[in-house]
């Protein structure tokens, strides 16, 4: 049996006055999510000299690089583990954050075109298939811990396992 490897990532969602800032991904690594709308983020510790970068340091760096803002008040909302059976390079463990305060104005770069959306009118048809299952909950304050398994085409969600932990039990719930 092959051991799966995962890239560590962060993603954040700036929330303001009933809206959330998302970005059209114009330039991506490995062809992952090009021309899709998503939260802002990227790899943790992928730059020489930053191999020991923390999740929070990566979040701040990615926001500064991708849209020119510096998050100053943010909250960890959980994580999503992604498994792509036919594109193992895309396997990821993504730490999720909401951002309530930041410095600077979101600005388009060669990587991202940021745009504000009403929290109840997300452009789900322009986002990864799994986003419909967890992004609305996160931007409305719900913490998550999921494993998302994509189908063979790497586009449609095959299975989602919701993982919850407390001191006495651990459960997993599969949904589609």
Q: Assign 5 a pLDDT band (cuts: 50, 70, 90).
A: confident
Positive/negative CA dihedral, 35, 104, 53, 47: positive
Tens digits of per-residue pLDDT, 72-101?
Answer: 999 999 999 988 887 788 888 999 999 999
For the chain, what are the domain ranges? 7-175
Cβ contact 140:129 at 8 Å: no
pTM above 0.75, yes or no: yes
Question: In the CATH hierarchy, which fold is given to the domain comprising 7-175?
Answer: Nucleoside Triphosphate Pyrophosphohydrolase (3.90.79)
DSSP 2: P
Measured between alpha carbons, how far is 105 from 67 in angstroms, rounded to an integer?
8
Other C-beta atoms closer than 10 Å to the C-beta of 146 total 22
Q: Is 94 exposed, middle or buried (0-12, 13-18, 19+ CB in 10 A)?
A: buried
Tens digits of per-residue pLDDT, 11-20?
Answer: 999 999 999 9
Q: What is the DSSP string of 101-140?
A: EEES-----SSEEEEEEETTS--GGGS-TTHHHHHHHHHT
Tens digits of per-residue pLDDT, 29-39?
Answer: 656 556 689 99
Measured between alpha carbons, how far is 105 from 124 in angstroms, rounded to an integer?
24
């Amino acid at each position: 049996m092959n051991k799966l490897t995962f890239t560590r990532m962060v993603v954040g969602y700036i929330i303001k006055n009933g809206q959330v800032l998302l970005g059209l991904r114009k330039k991506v690594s490995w062809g992952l999510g090009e021309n899709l709308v998503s939260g802002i983020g990227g790899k943790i510790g992928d730059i020489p000299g930053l191999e020991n970068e923390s999740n929070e340091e990566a979040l701040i760096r990615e926001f500064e690089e991708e849209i020119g803002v510096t998050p100053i008040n943010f909250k960890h909302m959980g994580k999503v583990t992604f498994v792509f059976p036919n594109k193992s390079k895309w396997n990821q463990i993504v730490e999720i954050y909401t951002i309530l305060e930041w410095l600077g104005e979101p600005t388009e770069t060669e990587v991202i075109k940021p745009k504000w959306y009403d929290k109840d009118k997300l452009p789900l048809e322009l986002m990864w298939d799994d986003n419909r299952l967890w992004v609305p909950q996160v931007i409305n304050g719900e913490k998550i811990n999921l494993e998302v398994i994509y189908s063979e085409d790497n586009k449609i969600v095959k299975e989602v396992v919701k993982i919850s932990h407390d001191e006495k039990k651990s459960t997993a719930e599969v949904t589609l």
